Amino acid sequence: MRFPMRSVLRKLLVCLTFLFAIALPADAAVDVNTADAAELETLPGIGPSKAAAIILYRTENGPFTAVDDLDNVPGIGVSTLASLRDQVTVGKGGKPASGGGATSGASTTPPAASTPPTASATATVAAGACSVDINTADVIALEDLPGIGSSKAAAILQHRVDNGPYASCDALDDVSGIGPSTIAGLKDCCRVK
Q: How far apart are CA 24 and CA 30, in angstroms?
A: 12
Q: How far apart are CA 157 and CA 180, in angstroms?
A: 18
Asked whether residue 136 falls in the same domain as residue 87, the answer is no
**At 138, which CATH number?**
1.10.150.320
Q: If you average pLDDT over residues 109-134, what whole number do you get?
A: 46
pLDDT at 16: 64
Number of domains the chain contains: 2
Confidence tier at 2 by pLDDT (50, 70, 90): low
Q: Is-above-0.85 flag for pTM? A: no
Exposure string over 164-174, b if 16+ CB within 10 A, otherwise e:
eebeebebbee
Confidence tier at 26 by pLDDT (50, 70, 90): very low
Question: Diameter of the chain by CA atoms?
Answer: 88
The size of the chain, in residues, is 193
The whole domain housing 174 covers 118-191
CA 36 to chain centre: 9
Asked whether residue 78 falls in the same domain as residue 131, the answer is no
